[in-house]
């Protein structure tokens, strides 16, 4: 009833974790792998070398939202490659990679290409939290250049994680770039970059790095996330699938993402808040909505947004 496929990979279910949440260590990944309501674990975006991340506090939750400037804390690329290579008989795992330069990105993808991992890799072009490093996917020329080099040698399924866009012409421009390449998927959206939240009592920002600036996530960004999923579904080649990320708190939100065109739906802030029991609740909630509406399968309403 609830299936999805991206490239040559079939998913049993539609719910996954958003990269960054509950996926830095092998024990966290094991928990996702062993949860029947998780269609696929996604690994924490990996850099070539392990990183401690930014000074703390670097994460803060507020009503229906979160702000973070984690700074890519991760155990290093080899750790995650080893994890995905040694868990190939179970469900799919999405390997997320990030990098601090184009050279590092190319080096990492050469390593994936040479490895035994044949699943889906996701290149994160949208991390807002490394000091001095821009969100690559806001630079359409740089994105084109990197993808052109990547696809000259990378032959395995590859998707990209994108930041939110807010202008319809930007959607046209980035989609025109992406449609030139055999991407498995786009994952949309990353957090809304560089928000700022202040604590009235201390008169200081709620997080320490970057003067308090950080990526905003959680239920409050649902309209931006749905708009991005919809805008991409209307513009991208149909063989480029969409992972809808952003704002999901309830089963209604999952339904809305799929209606707008998402193949899989990922959950970050709310997963961090509730823990992995959230996946069972959202799954059961989605089944109930589908039953009430008379749908037997997600395919019956995916990308089915109607005219008002």
216 makes contact with ligand DHB (CB under 6 A): no
- Choose which of 41, 215, 246, 261 interacts with ligand DHB (CB under 6 A): 215
The CB-of-51 to ligand DHB minimum distance in angstroms stands at: 8
Written as one string, the DSSP assignment of 197-224 is -EETTTTEESS-GGGGEEEEESGGGHHH
Q: Which of 128, 195, 212, 246 binds ligand DHB (CB under 6 A)?
A: 128
Q: Residue 77 is encoded by which pair of tokens?
A: 């690329």
Which residues make beta-bridge pairs with 245? 266
Number of residues engaging ligand DHB in binding (CB under 6 A): 17
Catalytic, 148? Answer no
Contacts of residue 180, Cβ cutoff 8 Å, sequence gap at least 6: 144, 147, 148
Binding track, positions 179-198, relative to ligand DHB; x by CB under 6 A: -----------xx-------
Which class for 29: exposed (0-12), middle (13-18), buried (19 or more C-beta within 10 A)?
buried
Provide the token pair at 197: 């939240």
Letters for 137-176 (x = contact with ligand DHB by CB under 6 A, - = none) are ----------------------------------------
**What sign results for the dihedral spanned by CA atoms 67, 69, 75, 76?**
positive
13 binds ligand DHB (CB under 6 A): no
Answer for the pair 261, 232: CB distance below 8 angstroms, yes or no: yes
- Active-site residue among 96, 126, 188, 266? 126
Q: What is the dihedral of CA 194, 199, 202, 207, to 10 degrees?
A: -40
How far apart CA 23 and CA 224 sit, in angstroms, is 24
Task: CB nearer to ligand DHB: give 119 or 268.
Answer: 268
- Minimum CB separation of residue 197 from ligand DHB in Å reads 16
247 scored as a contact of ligand DHB (CB under 6 A): no
56-115 binders of ligand DHB (CB under 6 A): 68-73, 98
19-38: contacts with ligand DHB (CB under 6 A)? 20
State the catalytic residue, choosing from 69, 127, 188, 260.
127
Contact present, 205 and 198 (Cβ < 8 Å): yes
Active site residue 126: yes
Q: Contact positions toward ligand DHB, by CB under 6 A? A: 20, 45, 68-73, 98, 124, 126-129, 190-191, 215
């Amino acid at each position: 009833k609830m299936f999805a496929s991206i490239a040559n990979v079939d998913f049993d279910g539609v719910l996954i974790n958003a990269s960054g949440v509950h996926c830095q260590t092998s024990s966290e990944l094991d928990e996702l792998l062993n949860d029947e309501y998780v269609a696929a674990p996604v690994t924490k975006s990996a850099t070539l070398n392990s990183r401690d991340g930014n000074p703390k506090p670097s994460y803060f939750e507020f009503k229906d939202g979160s702000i973070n400037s984690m700074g890519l804390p991760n155990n290093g690329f080899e750790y995650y490659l080893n994890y995905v290579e040694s868990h190939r008989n179970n469900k799919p795992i999405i390997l997320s990679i990030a990098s601090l330069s184009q050279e590092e990105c190319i080096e990492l993808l050469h390593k994936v290409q040479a490895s035994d991992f044949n699943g889906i890799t996701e290149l994160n072009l949208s991390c807002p939290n490394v000091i001095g490093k821009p969100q690559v996917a806001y630079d359409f020329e740089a994105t084109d250049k990197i993808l052109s080099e990547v696809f000259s040698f990378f032959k395995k399924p590859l998707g990209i994680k994108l930041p939110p866009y807010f202008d319809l012409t930007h959607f046209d421009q980035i989609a025109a770039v992406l449609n030139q390449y055999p991407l498995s998927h786009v994952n949309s959206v990353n957090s809304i970059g560089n928000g700022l939240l202040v604590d009235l009592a201390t008169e200081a920002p709620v997080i320490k790095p970057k003067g308090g600036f950080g990526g905003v996530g959680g239920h409050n960004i649902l309209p931006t996330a749905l708009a991005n999923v919809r805008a991409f579904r209307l513009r991208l080649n149909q063989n480029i699938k969409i992972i809808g990320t952003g704002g999901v708190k309830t089963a209604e939100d999952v339904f809305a993402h799929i209606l707008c065109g998402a193949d899989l739906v990922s959950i970050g802030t709310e997963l961090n808040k509730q823990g992995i029991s959230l996946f069972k609740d959202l799954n059961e909630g989605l089944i109930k909505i589908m039953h009430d509406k008379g749908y037997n399968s997600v395919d019956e309403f995916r990308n089915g947004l109607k005219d008002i």
